[in-house]
Structures are given as structure tokens and as C-alpha cells.
Amino acid sequence: MCGRFALTLPTDAMAQLFDAVPANDLPDVPNYNICPTNQVHTVRTEEGQRRLAPMRWGFLPHWYKATNGGPLLINARAETIAEKPAFRAAVRERRCLIPASGFYEWTKDDDDKRLPWYIHPTGEAPLAFAGIWQDWEREGEAYRTCAIVTCPADGPMASIHHRMPVILAAGDWAKWLGEEGHGAATLMKAAPHDAVRFYRVDPKVNSNRASGKDLIAPLAS
């Protein structure tokens, strides 16, 4: 799964990288501890133009009567996304990219303490998670919401967690966004083993209130 991530790329650099028009109300960056229900940067295609715009991380199906009207859906499993009532229309019609500089996962030691790891791209370019989105409105509240698509982890990543976000290569962005016709389903798989690296970080990131660049600093041995 993916329950926390970081984004450090400036907004103008993201707009250029994704060839997208940026909205005026994007969240502040850098943010080293992006948590569920936060507003996150997303890229979607609308009327032939890519848009860089904020969405609430935490997918709200249209039948939820309140934002807490059901489970918090921050991830959508690639294996079942086309069958789940909450996600099946979105994966056909409303796909997006979710930029990230890296994400966190946890293992446990012999005393059951949570040990955080920071997973980041091997190269300099940021990650682009496969995402889906959904508009939700109820009694004066309105949100554009999203979830990160996940798949079984493969290779070295599997030693940390059994699942990981679907990470899309730049050459696959257009297909995922629906700009190149069909075939997006073929992209929902683990990235090549050498696409990411990881290292231990300080347990302070276990708190969703933690902030600052030191959260992604390698833990001193």
C-alpha cells in the first residue's frame, strides 16, 4: 500500500515536467509528510489539456453521505479495481497521475516497533503514481478526491512491504491519462526492480504531525 509520501519538486517544475497548466490553489511544496485526507498534486487530462490541480487524498464514492461515511479509501488494488463498485467507473473514465519524490513504508523489529523506510526513485526524475479520481458533493460540501493504485510488490521492495504503488514511466503517462486510447490496464504492475531504492529513516516520521527535510534523511548507523 501507500499511506504516506513526500513531494519536493517546485510547482513550476512539475508543470513543465508534465506539460500541464497549474491551478492557483495547489498545496505548498516541499512537503515531506503528505498524509491521507491532505490535498495533493495531481495531473489529469481535460478537453485535450493536462491540468496540474489539487485533490483530496481519500477517494469518496458518490454514495458516501459524509466524508467519514465509510472506509478511508486512499489506495485501490490493481487486481480488483475494475470490479469494485467504488472504483470501476473511475478506472475506466477518471485516471490521473500523482507526483511524488518518494514514499514511506514500515517494517517491524523483534519488539514490534515500527521501522520506517523511505523509497525514492533511482534517478533524478520524480515518481508518478497511477491514480483515479472522483467528484463528491453532499449538503454544501464538495471535494475532488483521489486514490493511489497499488499492486503486489516485486523484487527488493517485497522485503519491506507486500504491496507498492503503481509507478508509471514517463512514456506511459499519456496512455494512463487516456490520451492514447485503450490499454491502461496493462500498466497496472510493479515497476522494474531498479526503478527505486530505499533506506531507513528516523522513527519521527511515524507521527503524521512530523515535518521537515530531515524526515527523508538516511538514518545514521
- For the chain, the three-class secondary structure string (H helix, E strand, C coil) is CCCCEEECCCHHHHHHHHCCEECCCCCCCCEEEECCCCEEEEEEEECCEEEEEEEEECECCCCCCCCCCCCCECEEECCCCCCCCCCHHHHHHCEEEEEECEEEEEEECCCCCEEEEEEEECCCCCEEEEEEEEEEEECCEEEEEEEEEEEECCHHHHHCCCEEECECCHHHHHHHCCCCCCCHHHHCCCCCHHHEEEEEECHHHHCCCCCCHHHHCECCC
Indicate whether 194 belongs to any domain: yes
Provide the β-strand partners of residue 149. Answer: 76
Domain count, the chain: 1
Rounded distance, CA 39 to CA 27, Å?
6
**CATH for 117:** 3.90.1680.10
Indicate whether 12 belongs to any domain: yes
Indicate whether 35 belongs to any domain: yes
Identify the CA nearest to 103 among candidates 190, 201, 18. Answer: 201
**What is the full per-residue pLDDT of the chain (221 aa) written as tens digits?**
789 999 999 999 999 999 999 999 999 999 999 999 999 999 999 999 999 999 999 999 999 999 999 999 999 999 999 999 999 999 999 999 999 999 999 999 888 999 999 999 999 899 999 999 999 999 889 999 999 999 999 999 999 999 999 999 999 999 999 999 889 999 999 999 999 999 999 999 999 999 999 999 999 86
Question: Which is catalytic among the residues 96, 105, 146, 151?
Answer: 105
Indicate whether 99 belongs to any domain: yes
Indicate whether 221 belongs to any domain: no
Please indicate whether residue 105 is annotated as part of the active site. yes
Indicate whether 169 belongs to any domain: yes
Please indicate whether residue 151 is annotated as part of the active site. no
Q: What is the pLDDT of residue 119?
A: 97
Per-residue model confidence as pLDDT tens digits over 39-60? 999 999 999 999 999 999 999 9
Tell me which residue range forms the domain holding 207: 5-216
Length of the chain: 221
Per-residue model confidence as pLDDT tens digits over 93-106? 999 999 999 999 99
